[in-house]
Amino acid sequence: MKFPIVTESWIGALRMTKMVYMTRKCVMIMDTDKCITCKQCMKVCPQGVLVQQEFPRKKRTTKMERIPYMENPRDCVFCGICEYFCPYDAIKLKIDGEKLDREDLPLFKKKILPKLSEIKVMKAIPEDSNFHNRFWDRLIDKITINRNP
């Protein structure tokens, strides 16, 4: 048996990807009713695990076809950055049965990610405007679009 054991299931509008390791169980829950397919989770995922199905241009697609999913769930390290940056709270993580909020994430507790005063599509504003570190700056650059005036 190769760990982690990966299973995907649906409960109503919730898509759950469960990974069972020898000593822990991790679950990513995507609420497809809340997701608007903004792709912000895909942009910030450091492992590139979240992807979106490719379609030819001009092909009509449904919202369910456009929602990001884990292409290779075994590559996910459950860092929680996708949950942290989701402006619509469509992504929730559970580790060993306990839901993780933004403030429960290890990167937040280690002060690698700041407390946010506002999170929107293409915009995340930390409470401390002077907050900087290399990791945070790189994540912000991935979601911010610089437009020429």
Rg of the chain (C-alpha set): 16
pLDDT digits (tens, 9 = 90+) for 121-147: 999 999 999 999 999 999 999 998 665
Architecture of domain 5-53+62-111: 2-Layer Sandwich (3.30)
AA identity, residue 138: R
- Whether residue 112 contacts residue 134, with contact meaning beta carbons closer than 8 Å, is answered with no
CA dist 90 → 87, 110, 111, 144, 148 (Å): 8, 24, 24, 20, 31
CA dist 68 → 45, 53, 85, 128 (Å): 11, 8, 14, 31
Question: What CA–CA distance (Å, rounded) separates 35 from 31?
Answer: 6
Confidence of residue 96 (pLDDT cuts 50, 70, 90): very high
Question: What CA–CA distance (Å, rounded) separates 1 from 129?
Answer: 48
Residue 149: pLDDT over 60: no
pLDDT digits (tens, 9 = 90+) for 44-53: 999 999 999 8
